Amino acid sequence: MTAHRSRLNGSLRAPPSKSWTQRALFCAALVGGESEIRSALFCDDTLASAQALSKLGVRTRWNDGNAHVNGLEELKKPSSEIYCGESATTLRFMTAICATTPHDAEISGGPSLLRRPVADLAHALQELGADCRTDHGYPPVRVKGPIEGGSVKVPGNVSSQYVSALLLAAPLAKMPVEVTVSGRLESKAYVKMTLEMQRKFAVQVDAAEDLTEFRSESQTYRPSSVEIEGDWSSTAFLLAAAAIAGEKVRIGGLAQETLQADRYIIGILERMDGRLTTDSSSVTLEESRLEPIEADVSDSPDLFPAICALCAVADGVSSITGIRRLRIKESNRVLAMSNGLKQMGIETRESENSFTIQGGKPSKAIVDPHRDHRIAMAFAALGLCTDGITIVDAECVGKSYPFFWRDLRSLGADVTAH
C-alpha cells in the first residue's frame, strides 16, 4: 500500500475500542449464560480472543456490529492447543483463565507472540496453586489449575496485562486472592479498565488508590449487556494524519470522559499547537504547524508510533521517554520507527529509555512495519505529506483496525494498493 501527498477533509466514526472489547469478551466468557457486547470491535485480535475462548466451550456470535457470548461457569477441557494469533492480551488472559480449571491446556500463538514475555504471570499462577510452565519465560504456556488463592507479587514495569489477567481469574479461586504490584505500575489505565468491566459483570475487586494492591473474594460473574466506546488508540493515527494533511477532519464516537489511556493524544496535540477542538463525543482537527515536544509514553506505549509521526514533521527536536517496554511489543517499535524515519531522511537518536527526533520534511521511501499494525498506520499518516510512502504488508492493520485504509480513503487520502 502506498500513501501519497493528500488533503483530508470530512468526518467519520472512530472504530470501537479493542481493549474494551477484549475485556468484555473475557468477562462474558465466565458467565453462566448469554451476554451482549454492543458495538464490539471485530478485528484479528478480538477474533483471536473469541476463537481461543471457543476451545473452552464459550460460543460467540458476531451479528451486525454486536457480539453475543454464551459463557460457562465451568469451562470445558480444550480438545487441542489454544492458538492466540498475535494477540498478547489473549495469550495472557487465557493463561490466567485456564489456570482456574482442572484441565490441561497448552496456549501458543504466532511468531511475534512467541517473543512476548509471560514468565512473571506464570510464576504468580504457580504461587496461587496452578501448574504453569513456559518455554524459558515465553510461550507456549502449559497450564493446569485450579488456582486455590493466596498472595502474589508481580512487577509493574513489564506488562499491565499480567495484573489484568490475575484480576480476571481471581474471583474464580476457592479462597481470596491478593495481588501486590512491585515498583511503579505502568499503563495503569488498562488495569482500571479491567476493574470497570468486571464491575459491569457484577464482580467487585478491591483496589488500593495507587493500584499497587488488589484483593478479590470468591465471586460469580453475572450476565450483562455492555456498550463499547470508540477507540482512542486507533483514532490517534487518524488525528496524526489530520494534523499533517487535514483541511478539516472530524472524528466522532469518542468519549471524552474515558478510562482509555490513549486519550493522552489530545494533550500531545494541544502541546504541539495542533489546531483542534473537542466536544463531548468528537474531535475536529486541521492541518497544523506543529511545535516539538517532550513526551512520556510509559502509560500510553501504543501512542509512540503516532507521536513519532507528529514529531517527524514538527519544527525542531522532540524527545519521547518511557520507551523501554516498546522493544517487546508486536515488533521492536523503537527500532522499527527509527529505521523507517531514517529511510525518510528524518534524523533520530535513541538511548535505553528515550528517543529523539529532529523534525523535517519526510521524503519518499519504502517502509517495513515488521507486521506491526501501529507502525504501518503511523507511516501511512506520514505518507500524506510526501511523494509516496510504500508500506510493506499493509494488511497488518487488521490486528486492531481492519477498515483503516478504507476510512483514510473516505477522508480523501490518495492511497493505492499494489
pLDDT tens by residue, 359-380: 999 999 999 999 999 999 999 9
Query: Parallel, antiparallel, or unpaired: how do β-strands 275-279 and 131-135 relate?
Result: unpaired
pLDDT over 90 percentage in the chain: 91
pLDDT tier at 262, thresholds 50, 70, 90:
very high
CA nearest to 235, candidates 374, 39, 48, 45: 374
**Which residues are CB-neighbours of 105 under 8 A, at least 6 positions away?**
77, 78, 82, 94, 98, 142, 143, 144
Assess whether pLDDT exceeds 90 at residue 72.
yes
CATH 3.40.640.10 fits 2-15+229-416, yes or no: no
Assess whether pLDDT exceeds 80 at residue 329.
no
Supply the pLDDT for residue 157. 84
Assess whether pLDDT exceeds 70 at residue 330.
no
Strand segments (E) across 77-117: 82-83, 105-108
4 in Cβ contact with 387 (< 8 Å) = yes
pLDDT tier at 287, thresholds 50, 70, 90:
confident
Q: What is the H or E stretch that residue 140 is in?
A: strand 138-144
- My answer on whether omega of the bond before 140 falls inside 30° of 0, hence cis, is yes
331 in Cβ contact with 372 (< 8 Å) = yes
The model's pTM: 0.95
**Which residues are CB-neighbours of 136 under 8 A, at least 6 positions away?**
none
The residues spanned by each domain of the chain are 2-15+229-416, 18-216
pLDDT tier at 310, thresholds 50, 70, 90:
very high
Which amino acids are annotated catalytic? 302
Q: Which residue has the cell 470491535?
A: 41
The tally of CA atoms less than 13 A away on the side-chain side of residue 41 is: 32
CA distances from 295 to 22, 89, 242, 315, 321 (A): 28, 25, 20, 16, 6
Assess whether pLDDT exceeds 80 at residue 237.
yes
CA angle, residues 21, 25, 28, in degrees to nearest 5: 135
Tell me whether domains 2-15+229-416 and 18-216 share a fold: yes
The predicted model gives 284-296 an average pLDDT of 94
**Which residues are CB-neighbours of 267 under 8 A, at least 6 positions away?**
none
177 in Cβ contact with 216 (< 8 Å) = yes
pLDDT tier at 183, thresholds 50, 70, 90:
confident
Supply the pLDDT for residue 314. 97
pLDDT tier at 202, thresholds 50, 70, 90:
very high
CATH 3.65.10.10 fits 18-216, yes or no: yes
290 in Cβ contact with 314 (< 8 Å) = yes
Supply the pLDDT for residue 187. 86
Lowest mean pLDDT among 3-17, 25-39, 40-54, 314-328: 314-328
